[in-house]
């Protein structure tokens, strides 16, 4: 395998965030206490998910303009990586909620919207599995993928904000992190963690795609 710069960067960023995430100081806040460090692990899942799902949609659009089995594979593998990251985001969020809000799940607009977004993506996998004809599968799933992404944007970024009251941070007003949520020392770990997990998702997608390309090549022979 080739050690490209971004693979080295993935290893460095992830190991750095695992060490610095526990050892660098964090703000002393009531209720969250030390669990504020979850920010370094829970939030990057969602960042990486959005980036890799965006890549998947981009590949789907490319497919519809210029159909090829390779583009279908790239889009499918990227969507799979995104779904894995989204599920990990939901699981870590649920665990964090249990110990700060007192329940595994709360009927919170952001939580429910994120769950619905994941279900929509789950349907993508079901849809793909229901076709025998490869070209039809590739075309329909490319179209559905665009719909799923278009549905995920309002579900994750707009509706929770319109709904107002929420326990989830970054909810009222600006959905990003304000000064209270993220201070400058936390950024030192948070940004490398985000970069690391985004690159990790690309790496997973790349390996999966290359394997699928080989399968394709063998099938063609």
Partner 1 sequence: MKNNLLARFFSALCLLQLLLFTGTSAFAQAPGTEAPEMADVLRQSGKIYVVVAAVVIIVAGLLVYLISLDRKVARLEQEINK
Write out the residues near partner 1 by the rule CB under 8 A: 1-2, 7, 10-12, 14-16, 18-26, 28-31, 33-34, 200, 203-204, 206-207, 210-211, 214, 217-218
* C-alpha–C-alpha distance, residues 5 and 34, integer Å: 34
- For partner 1, give the closer residue by CB, 105 or 213: 213
State the CB neighbour count (10 A cutoff) for residue 186.
20
- For partner 1, give the closer residue by CB, 14 or 155: 14
State the CB neighbour count (10 A cutoff) for residue 167.
13
Tokens found for residue 89: 């985001």
Q: How far is the CB of 23 from partner 1 (least distance, A)?
A: 5
Q: What is the DSSP letter of 199?
A: H
Q: Which residues contact 183 (CB under 8 A, 6 or more apart)?
A: 27
Q: How far is the CB of 148 from partner 1 (least distance, A)?
A: 26
Q: How far is the CB of 196 from partner 1 (least distance, A)?
A: 9
Q: How far is the CB of 128 from partner 1 (least distance, A)?
A: 22
* C-alpha–C-alpha distance, residues 161 and 109, integer Å: 8
- For partner 1, give the closer residue by CB, 98 or 217: 217
- For partner 1, give the closer residue by CB, 126 or 218: 218
- For partner 1, give the closer residue by CB, 34 or 134: 34
Q: How far is the CB of 163 from partner 1 (least distance, A)?
A: 29
- For partner 1, give the closer residue by CB, 24 or 103: 24
Q: How far is the CB of 180 from partner 1 (least distance, A)?
A: 14
- For partner 1, give the closer residue by CB, 75 or 209: 209
Q: Which residues contact 63 (CB under 8 A, 6 or more apart)?
A: 71, 72, 75, 138, 139, 142
* C-alpha–C-alpha distance, residues 92 and 53, integer Å: 19
Q: How far is the CB of 217 from partner 1 (least distance, A)?
A: 6
Helix (H, G, I), strand (E, B) or coil at 1: coil
Q: Which residues contact 164 (CB under 8 A, 6 or more apart)?
A: 171, 172
Are 38 and 92 spatial neighbours (Cβ–Cβ below 8 Å)?
yes
């Amino acid at each position: 395998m080739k050690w490209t710069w971004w693979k080295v960067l993935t290893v460095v960023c992830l190991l750095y965030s695992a060490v610095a995430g526990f050892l660098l100081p964090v703000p002393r806040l009531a209720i969250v206490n030390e669990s504020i460090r979850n920010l370094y692990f829970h939030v990057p899942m969602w960042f990486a998910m959005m980036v890799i799902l965006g890549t998947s949609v981009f590949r789907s659009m490319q497919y519809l303009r210029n159909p090829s089995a390779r583009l279908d594979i790239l889009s499918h593998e990227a969507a799979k990586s995104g779904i894995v990251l989204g599920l990990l985001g939901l699981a870590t969020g649920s665990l964090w909620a249990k110990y700060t809000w007192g329940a595994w799940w709360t009927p919170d607009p952001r939580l429910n919207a994120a769950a619905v977004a994941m279900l929509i993506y789950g349907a993508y996998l079901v849809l793909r599995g229901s076709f025998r004809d490869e070209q039809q599968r590739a075309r329909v799933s490319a179209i559905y993928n665009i719909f799923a992404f278009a549905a995920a944007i309002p579900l994750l970024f707009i509706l929770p904000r319109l709904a107002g009251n929420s326990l989830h941070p970054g909810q009222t007003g600006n959905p990003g992190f304000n000064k209270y949520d993220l201070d400058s020392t936390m950024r030192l770990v948070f940004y490398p963690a985000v970069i690391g997990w985004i690159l990790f998702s690309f790496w997973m997608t790349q390996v999966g795609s290359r394997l699928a390309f080989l399968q394709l090549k063998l099938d063609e022979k």
